């Protein structure tokens, strides 16, 4: 980028976000941005405010401050309107329809964008059918292929191992054609192989679909390995943000995680948690 090139508008901007539950300040003046094409992670010890932040961005919690998508404030919008705008998210605990098939779960994601309502569908059957065909093609040929879940498309979600269920959740979020993919602990409870697969899919979402990712994750090894930008929360406040290398070098981050400001210890812990092959060298 040239020195005077205008910076790109962030996909998401969070400005001075605060939220209280009774006397508890879950978020206290949090500000950061997600740049186009980036993987941004939010980390922090238990109770730091990560889920509160996600719920505030999605509109489930009413916080003060401003949230902008592509430069436009969305504070007045309810969760479904935010989803329609392209804020797609997965949840900490899998939120799929367990009795339904993989394919039907994925189709539900696409419904956020269907232009045809029920009445429309009765009167304008042609358009509805075209949308259905387009939906099927997109779902079957792109998302299912991409996530390598062709062999389970007709399986009920409840019959699948945990790692595959999380992948189906990702598929459903992708079916929304998201502007930003928000992943809440995408590898929590996963074994090594499942974690590696999910990390690869998250990187591919960015590479192949051009969709930026905002994720909350406890697995520091995975976060440090695939993130471009890391935001660190502690007791509702943002205590650091920067590249993985920068936040690992921050004594305040080490103190939040280890109770000491020992950066070397934090790096050792991150290295121990790193489970991906070809891990980047931590200086």
Ligand X SMILES: Nc1ncnc2c1ncn2[C@@H]1O[C@H](COP(=O)(O)OP(=O)(O)OP(=O)(O)O)[C@@H](O)[C@H]1O
Q: Which residues bind ligand X (CB under 6 A)?
A: 21, 24, 26, 44, 46-52
- From the CB of 241, what's the least distance to ligand X, in Å? 16
Cβ closest to ligand X, residue 36 vs residue 47: 47
CB of 219 to ligand X, least distance (A): 12
Beta-carbon contacts of residue 240 (< 8 Å; ≥ 6 apart):
230, 231, 232, 246, 247, 250, 252, 253
Query: Do the bridges between strand 87-89 and strand 24-34 make them parallel or antiparallel, or are there none, so unpaired?
Result: unpaired
CB atoms within 10 A of CB 49: 24
Identity of the residue, 103 or 238, whose beta carbon is nearer to ligand X in the bound complex: 238
Q: How far is the CB of 47 from ligand X (least distance, A)?
A: 4
Residue number, 41 or 52, with CB nearest to ligand X: 52
Phi, psi of 66 (to 5 degrees): -130, 140
Q: How far is the CB of 17 from ligand X (least distance, A)?
A: 12
Q: Please, which residue, 24 or 95, has the CB nearer to ligand X?
A: 24
CA distance 75 to 65: 8
Name the minimum Å distance from CB 131 to ligand X. Answer: 37
Please tell me the distance from the alpha carbon of residue 190 to that of residue 142, in angstroms, as a whole number: 25
Looking at the Cβ atoms of 45 and 261, the one nearer to ligand X is: 45
Q: What is the dihedral of CA 181, 184, 189, 194, to 10 degrees?
A: 10
Q: How far apart are CA 182 and CA 174, in angstroms?
A: 10
């Amino acid at each position: 980028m040239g020195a005077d090139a205008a910076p790109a508008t962030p996909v998401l901007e969070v400005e001075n976000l605060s939220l209280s539950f009774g006397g508890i300040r879950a978020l206290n003046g949090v500000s950061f941005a997600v740049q186009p094409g980036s993987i941004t992670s939010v980390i922090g010890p238990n109770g730091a405010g990560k889920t509160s932040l996600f719920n505030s961005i999605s509109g489930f919690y009413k916080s003060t401050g401003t949230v902008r998508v592509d430069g436009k404030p969305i504070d007045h919008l309810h969760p479904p309107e935010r989803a329609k705008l392209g804020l797609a998210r997965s949840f900490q605990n899998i939120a799929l329809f367990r009795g339904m098939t993989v394919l039907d779960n994925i189709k539900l994601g696409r419904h956020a964008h269907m232009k045809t309502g029920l009445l429309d569908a009765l009167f304008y059957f042609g358009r509805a059918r075209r949308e259905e065909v387009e939906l099927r093609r997109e779902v079957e040929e792109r998302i299912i292929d991409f996530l390598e879940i062709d062999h389970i498309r007709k399986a009920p979600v409840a019959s699948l191992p945990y790692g595959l269920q999380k992948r189906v959740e990702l598929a459903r979020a992708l079916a929304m054609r998201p502007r930003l993919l928000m992943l809440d602990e995408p590898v929590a409870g996963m074994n090594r192989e499942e974690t590696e697969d999910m990390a690869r899919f998250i990187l591919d979402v960015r590479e192949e679909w051009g969709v930026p990712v905002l994720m909350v994750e406890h697995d520091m090894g995975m976060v440090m390995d695939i993130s471009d930008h890391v935001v660190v929360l502690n007791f509702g406040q943002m205590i650091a943000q920067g590249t993985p290398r920068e936040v690992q070098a921050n004594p305040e981050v080490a103190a939040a995680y280890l109770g000491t400001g020992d950066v070397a210890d934090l790096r050792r812990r991150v290295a121990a948690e790193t489970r991906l092959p070809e891990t980047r060298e931590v200086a």
